[in-house]
Amino acid sequence: MLGSEALIQSLVDSDVDVCFMNPGTSEMHFVNALDAVPQMRSVLCLFEGVATGAADGYSRMAGKPAAVLLHLGPGLGNGLANMHNAKRAKSPMVVIVGGHATYHNRYDAPLQSDIEGIARTMSAWVHTSGHQRDIGNDAAQAVAVARSTPGKIATLVLPADVSWSEGGVVAPRREPAPALTVDKAVIEAAAAILTGGSKTVLLIGGAAMRERGMLAAARIAKATGATVLATGSNRSERGAGLPVFSRVAYLGEQAVAQMAGTQNLILAGAKSPVTFFAYPGVASDVAGDSCEVSVLADDEQDIEAALEALADQVAAGVEATVTEAALPPSPTGELTPRSMADAIAVTLPANAIVVEEAVTSGAFIGSALAGAPRHDVLPVMGGAIGGGMPTAVGAAVAAPDRPVISLQADGSAMYTIQSLWTQARENLNITTVLMNNQSYAILRNELTRVGAGYNPGPRALDMLDIGRPTLNFAELASGMGVPSVRVTTAEELVEALTNAAAQDGPHLVEVMLPSPE
């Protein structure tokens, strides 16, 4: 058996049966071995950042790692931005990077680079396979690392001669260690804080943003008067029948105001909040020096069980307050961020997956969808631009029976627009709502907030304007095989989303929004 065949079979035996790839010469034996191991589904991506972002979205919905195949150091470099997002999302991922044949390295060929050094910036585990007899064990170890709690990125470098040589051995699956339980004393300490009369905030994130954790947090808040705030989670459950919690504000001064006067901050699957960037005159530490911070459960522990145990102690017999099913009126007239959000809400299919990458144009989405049918939300974690459309690809591959609604801003869409080609090639059930306001709107705000643009000149403003020329995403999507339409009114948007929901396969709806002043 070739080393490449042993690698792929070992991945499949470890329940890693999807690989998003952008291969090159050094990976050709891996590609050829796909026919020998048909259980591995291979998904071709036209850019490495699409492959790594798709693996992120896949793992969030499948609850297990996907594999990624990249070409040498430059290919890995192209995938790093969405590996950063996956690392921040704690998404398990096995990255296979082809390397030159071991005997070829000493010649310093044009594509020679320090692959392990590049990989270590985003990976929890990096290893280069030295011999085909070891490749199966290396693959099994990579999967075990990726599947640990919390999820991690494991990168395995596959030299070309190890891949093409006979003598590969398939390795059995290795089980990762289970999540740790929270000590009873920690639960009791948190209960004492919550019932002690101080102004307390319970900050939840990660696995706490699923139904079990959210209902427990709502019970705690109802019984004790504590405020529950939510921070980033790689997958949140939302919609009718669930509690609604305010998120920690993106703008630093607003986040500081949310926390003002808080005496105790209890963390469940979250870190003590800090501002996204540094701003003149704004504190980086949102909680402040006078706030006592304690940890109920971190990402290595069973967060949902900890919250339920705490709720049972301080809120026995208390039922959570949840959101009733309710939708806004179907919007008419001018397209604005608010009317767009209402249109998405009234057309949202049941059991949808909503992928978010639109900070300014998507400001009203959360409130509009609060009473919509139950759905999952996958935000871009980590802040690296270009994660939304690839995440939608991976989510659709992981959950083919669920509609995916990809909410995408125009500027960030251009980072990984190649995602549309993969959506068409795989016939994925994704509707992309492309919000086109011809501007990097968030950067217009940031120019002023960092003190750089109280009186911005024409050259500065020109660098934040992507309307010259105006991008036509409907035409771009059509050129990559995705049916598309451009809409200019709320009624047209409702009609377009309704039509897309009634048909299988990918669609793109370009929403023409007013440019920010």
Per-residue DSSP letter, 509 = E
Q: Are strands 404-409 and 430-436 parallel, antiparallel or unpaired?
A: parallel
Give the pLDDT confidence of 116-155 residue by residue, as tens digits: 999 999 999 999 999 999 999 999 999 999 999 999 999 9
Give the pLDDT confidence of 332-352 residue by residue, as tens digits: 999 999 999 999 999 999 999
First to last CA, the chain: 63
Give the pLDDT confidence of 162-221 residue by residue, as tens digits: 999 999 999 999 988 888 999 999 999 999 999 999 999 999 999 999 999 999 999 999
Among 80, 8, 17, 91, smallest CA distance to 381 is for 91
Q: What's the rounded Cα separation, in Å, for the pair 230 and 214? A: 10
59-80 burial: b if 16+ Cβ within 10 Å, else e? bbbbebbbbbbbbbbbbbbbbb
Among 85, 72, 155, 157, smallest CA distance to 120 is for 155
Among 389, 282, 370, smallest CA distance to 328 is for 370
Please determine, for residue 113, whether its predicted confidence score (pLDDT) is greater than 90. yes
Between 185 and 254, the more confident residue is 185
Task: State the helix-helix crossing angle for 337-347 and 490-501, rounded to 10 degrees.
Answer: 30
Helix (H) or strand (E) holding 203: strand 200-204
Instruction: Report the chain's mean pLDDT, rounded to a whole number.
Output: 94
Q: Are strands 292-297 and 246-247 parallel, antiparallel or unpaired?
A: unpaired
Is residue 310 within 8 A of residue 214, CB to CB? The reply is no
Between 49 and 444, the more confident residue is 49
Among 390, 465, 386, 464, smallest CA distance to 422 is for 390
pLDDT band at 464 (very low <50, low <70, confident <90, very high): confident
Q: What's the rounded Cα separation, in Å, for the pair 231 and 273? A: 8
Q: What's the rounded Cα separation, in Å, for the pair 57 and 379? A: 10
Please determine, for residue 454, whether its predicted confidence score (pLDDT) is greater than 70. no
Give the pLDDT confidence of 259-304 residue by residue, as tens digits: 999 999 999 999 999 988 887 878 889 888 899 999 999 999 999 9
Tell me phi and psi for residue 42, to 5 degrees. -110, 130
The per-residue pLDDT for 29 is 96
Is residue 176 within 8 A of residue 149, CB to CB? The reply is yes
Give the pLDDT confidence of 48-91 residue by residue, as tens digits: 999 999 999 999 999 999 999 999 999 999 999 999 999 999 99
Report the percent of the chain where pLDDT is more than 90: 84
The per-residue pLDDT for 5 is 97
pLDDT band at 452 (very low <50, low <70, confident <90, very high): low
Q: What's the rounded Cα separation, in Å, for the pair 312 and 317? A: 8
Per-residue DSSP letter, 214 = H
What distance lies between CA 318 and its chain's CA centroid? 33
Q: What's the rounded Cα separation, in Å, for the pair 487 and 334? A: 11
What distance lies between CA 452 and its chain's CA centroid? 31
Determine the longest span between alpha carbons in the chain, in angstroms.
71
Domains in the chain (CATH in brackets) are 3-164 (3.40.50.970), 184-314 (3.40.50.1220), 337-512 (3.40.50.970)
The per-residue pLDDT for 441 is 66
The per-residue pLDDT for 457 is 83
pLDDT band at 453 (very low <50, low <70, confident <90, very high): low
The per-residue pLDDT for 463 is 83
Q: What's the rounded Cα separation, in Å, for the pair 132 and 155? A: 17
Please determine, for residue 510, whether its predicted confidence score (pLDDT) is greater than 90. yes
